[in-house]
A and B are shown apart, each in its own frame.
Chain A
Amino acid sequence: MTDTHVAAHRQAAAPPPDAPRHTALARAALLLLRGRTLVVLVLLVIIFSSISSEYLTQSNLILMTKHVAINAILAIGVTFVILTGGIDLSVGSIAGLASMVSGGLLFKGLNVPGGTIFFSVAVVILIGIVVGALVGAVNGLLITRFRVAPFIATLGMLYVARGAAQLHSDGGTYPDLAGTEARGNTGFGFIGVDSILGIPVAVWIMVMVAAAAVLVTTKTPFGKRIFAVGGNERAAVLSGIRVNRIKISVYVISGACAALAGLLLTSELGAAYPDTATTYELNAIAAAVLGGTALSGGRGTIIGTVMGAFVIGFLSDGLVLVGVSTFWQSVVKGAVIVFAVITEQAQQRLQSTLTRRTA
């Protein structure tokens, strides 16, 4: 201990006059790196608004935030899973399945012996979310009870849930989800189309989901256990945490969030089709990673993930707005994600250097 202490002192003392300034510079750099998602976001806004005067208008900001909402909700769910050291590749398919189940209930009702039942929109939405949570629970059980690696279990579910969504309508689209007064199931457009105080309902929902997730991860014992499981699973087991229960819970949360995102998308579209949200899992994982969530688990924040979703959304919409071709959109998006991970590594290195110096 004393040896390293002395060594650290020597190292820091080697160029005596510059040392404090170096540390100060390093600290400033660290601060910048910590806030890199915000920095990137601000840069994006500056670049795009200098190209197009339409970018920084109130209506466009609201629209882009609405587009962000769907990915942000998916990504918040996925963040819970990644924090435990797992991964959830099935969220896009779960969104699609929830969309088809709810769309089917609105469009053709539920066939029971003796007739067809139509549920109110609130019940339909609830059923959709429960379906998502149940699929998430199956993921969790596969991973804990049957010891399937999360990557494989959720990859399997990616196919199973998508297939189930296609089977639900035999591949077809439920084209009209407006409902009728007679059936008492009108108003599905509320969550995806309507606004409250000029802000889309979908954005309000994102804010509520994010606030709840921040509270859960930072203020509750459950949240601390999630980090414990992801940080060091063995230590978590030894300290008496019911690791399996935590793991199942995070997949349930992820499934429910995915279902909610699918319903928002379906509500806005006014139609449910089996391919809804195909490959959205990748955008969600990218948002989490961009926001500083470590894929190895144990490190990350909900706010970071939401910021990550904003970066991806503001970037994609900006590229469309200024008329960049689809090919370049993919290249730019991929490059930004890789760049974000590189800066994260730089942050880790700098942070450990600084900790050593001040120790």
Chain B
Amino acid sequence: MRYLPSRRAFLAVGAASVLALSACGGSDDSSSSSSSGSSAAPAASKLIVIITPSPDNVFFKAEQEAADAQAKKLGYETLVLSHDDDPTKQSQQFDTAISRKAAAIILDNAGADASVTAIQRAKDAQIPTFLIDREINKTGVAVAQIVSNNAQGAGLGGQEFAKLMGGKGEYAELTGKPTDTNAGVRSKGYHGVLDQYPDLKMVAQQSANWDQAEALQKTQTILQAHPNIKGIIAGNDTMALGAYAAVQASNKKDIIVTGFDGSPDVVSSILKKGIKATVLQPASKIAEMAVDQADAYIKNGKADQPEKQSIDCVLVNPDNAGTVKNFAVAGS
């Protein structure tokens, strides 16, 4: 500020950095809550580092917890970190993993291209990386890339939506963040099915950036513009919840809403005859598989599975919603 003499400015910067540090401290608390404490890793490392996006989203939280629990069950120490979709932060966390001589890294990565060098650095340091949920654009760097099959899942979601619509009528689509590959894959998967019905007409398509409040407001406006809409198909569950709130507030409460993810909030809405269906990504199962494969790799020195593995999604509707728990359908 122009009126501050330099000494004050200096003070301001000092105070600001304290603030910034405290801000970092706050988020670290939440992201490393299940860290194994500060004891140094033993020479023959039994440490598995788990790095995921922010556990804000129940989906990432579920995969984080599943990986953590499975690793502990197999007798490993864990360090759980969150990169908040920032490749730079992720790279620093890889440095931490390397300096602590981790036995393996389980990663839900922060960018298909931006993550490659960090994973390569770990590989050079003899630390294998097992990718979950999101792929990278290079093979031969990570030991495994285990992802749920979004295209197959979107096909399931599209079929169920078409069935609920009775194969005809106007509908709107809410798509995810345009920069996220999965937003495009899901939308394409939906349309692979829906576009085959000549009487199903998409009258509006808007991105709500995976956000609940944005989905609410955009759905309200879409319903204004197109009063005859019979259904809304959303690219994920938070947007489905927002759209459902808009439908509830309107005078057309029988509008069909479907989502994608299998989050607990949507599953309970399905049980209450609110949202009609969602597609469950087996987040917990994928995380556990990655830890099992890491364990086998540590013991045998080589991978027991091909690098690219695609796990099918499961449709959740009132028939099986009661059996869903923590991103897993009973018996799947």
Name A's B-contacting residues (CB within 8 A).
Answer: 52, 54, 57, 59-60, 63-64, 67, 142, 146-150, 152-153, 156-157, 159-160, 163-164, 166-167, 170-173, 175, 193, 233-234, 265, 268-271, 273-278, 317, 320-323, 325-327
Additional A-B contact list (18), CB under 8 Å, known A147-B12, A193-B249, A271-B245: A59-B224, A63-B220, A147-B15, A149-B9, A150-B1, A152-B16, A159-B20, A166-B27, A166-B56, A171-B58, A173-B212, A233-B3, A271-B212, A273-B238, A321-B222, A323-B205, A323-B206, A326-B178
Residues of A within 8 A of B29 (CB): 167
CB within 8 Å of A: which B38-55 residues: 54-55
Residues of A within 8 A of B92 (CB): none
With A167-B29, A175-B268, A326-B206: A156-B19 Cβ-Cβ less than 8 Å: yes
Residue B74 lies at the interface, judged by CB distance under 8 Å to chain A: no
A333 to chain B, nearest CB (A): 14
Per-position binary interface string of chain B over residues 185-213, scored 1 when its CB falls under 8 Å from any chain A CB and 0 otherwise: 00000000000000000001111010111
B22 contacts the other chain (CB 8 A): yes
Within 8 A of A (CB), among B1-37: 1, 3-4, 8-9, 11-13, 15-16, 19-20, 22-23, 26-27, 29-30
Which residues in B have their C-beta under 8 angstroms from that of A233? 3
Of A147, A148, A327, the residue contacting B178 (CB under 8 A) is: A327
Is the CB–CB distance between A63 and B19 below 8 Å? no
Contacts A156-B20, A160-B26; is A320 near B221 (CB within 8 Å)? Answer: yes
Expressed in whole angstroms, the Cα–Cα distance for A326 and B204 within the complex equals 12
Contacts of A159 in B (CB 8 A): 20, 23, 26-27
With A146-B11, A171-B30, A327-B178 as contacts: A63 and B221 at CB distance below 8 Å = yes
> B101 within 8 Å of A by Cβ?
no
Q: How far is the CA of A122 from the CA of B56 in the complex (A)?
A: 28
Min CB–CB distance A272 → chain B (angstroms): 10
B61 in contact (CB, < 8 A):
yes
Give the distance in Å from the alpha carbon of A67 to the alpha carbon of B224 in the complex: 13
Question: Which residues of chain B are within 8 angstroms of A167 by Cβ–Cβ distance?
Answer: 26, 29-30
* Docked-complex contact A163 and B26, CB < 8 angstroms: yes
A156 touches B11 (CB 8 A): no
What mask results when residues 118 to 133 of chain B are scored 1 for a CB within 8 Å of chain A, else 0? 0000000000000000
Determine chain B's interface SS by DSSP, over half rule. Answer: helix
Q: Contact check: which of A193, A268, A326 meets B207 at CB < 8 Å?
A: A326
Q: Does B332 reach chain A (CB closer than 8 Å)?
A: no
**Could you list some 19 contacts between A and B, CB below 8 A?**
A67-B217, A67-B220, A147-B8, A148-B12, A152-B19, A156-B19, A156-B22, A156-B23, A157-B19, A163-B30, A166-B56, A167-B26, A175-B268, A268-B216, A268-B245, A273-B238, A317-B221, A320-B206, A320-B218
With A171-B56, A172-B58, A269-B245 known as contacts, the answer to whether A148 contacts B4 (CB < 8 A) is no
The distance in angstroms between the C-alpha atoms of A275 and B4, with both chains bound, is: 35
B211 lies within 8 A of A275 (CB) = yes
Residue of A nearest to B64 (CB): A171
CB <8 Å contact, B56 and A265: no
Q: Give Cα distance in the complex from A320 to B205, angstroms.
A: 9
Answer whether A320 and B54 are a contact pair too, CB < 8 Å, given A147-B15, A159-B23.
no
In the complex, are the beta carbons of B8 and A160 less than 8 A apart? Answer: no
Tell me the smallest distance from the CB of B56 to a CB of chain A, in Å: 4
A170 contacts which chain B residues (CB < 8 A)?
A: 30, 55, 61
Residue of B nearest to A317 (CB): B221
**B57 on the interface (CB 8 Å rule)?**
yes
A149 lies within 8 A of B22 (CB) = no
Task: Kindly provide the distance from the CB of A188 to the nearest chain B CB, expressed in whole angstroms.
Answer: 13
